[in-house]
Structure 1
Amino acid sequence: MSPAEADTNAISVHLDRLLTERGMTLTDLADRVGVTVVNLSILKNGRAKAIRFTTLTKICEVLGCQPGDLLTHTPQNRLPREGEADRPAG
């Protein structure tokens, strides 16, 4: 994988929208979830490389949402599924 490919992220984070809809600040969320504002800011700005399920669970509990409300996947170059490349078109 090239460095350019490694930096490509097809996951979008919608934390800003959820916070706005709930009238909550990032600081409020950080306090209630038990993580630092810096870590939530990294997530909010799409720079996070990973998120613990325990953190995701707590964010969803506090915001009253599902993981799919917070994160979406937009494939950029979808790879063929197993067996898909072997099938003839048509």
Structure 2
Amino acid sequence: MTIKVHIDRLLVERQMSVTELSTRVGITMANISILKNGKAKAIRFSTLEGLCDVLECQPGELLEYIEDKK
């Protein structure tokens, strides 16, 4: 199973930089990079809430579940 994070797409749609997102959500640019690159093993609900608040989206717009091919 894979969880894809659509931060890049949402940033383009909202014409927002990674730096602005980092500042407004209160997380480091390194942690945003980890999320963007699919390297995150977990995400706190408070971080998810902050991302959704700043990006004005629902969790389902930010995260996508991709089933592994069997």
Q: Offset at 1:10? A: 0.9
Q: Give 1 or 2: higher strand fraction.
A: 2
Distance 1:35 1:10 in 2: 23
1:5-84 pair list within 5 angstroms: 9-77=1-69
Structure 1 unaligned spans of 5+ = 1-8, 79-90
Report % sequence identity.
Answer: 57
Larger radius of gyration: 1
Comparing both chains, which one has the higher relative contact order based on Cα–Cα distances under 8 Å and sequence gaps of 6 or more? 2
The Cα offsets for residues 12-57 of structure 1, whole Å up to 9 and x where unpaired, read as: 1110000000000111000000010000111011111110000000
Q: Give 1 or 2: higher helix fraction.
A: 2
Q: TM-score, normalised by structure 1?
A: 0.74
Q: List 4+ stretches of structure 1 deviating above 2 A.
A: none
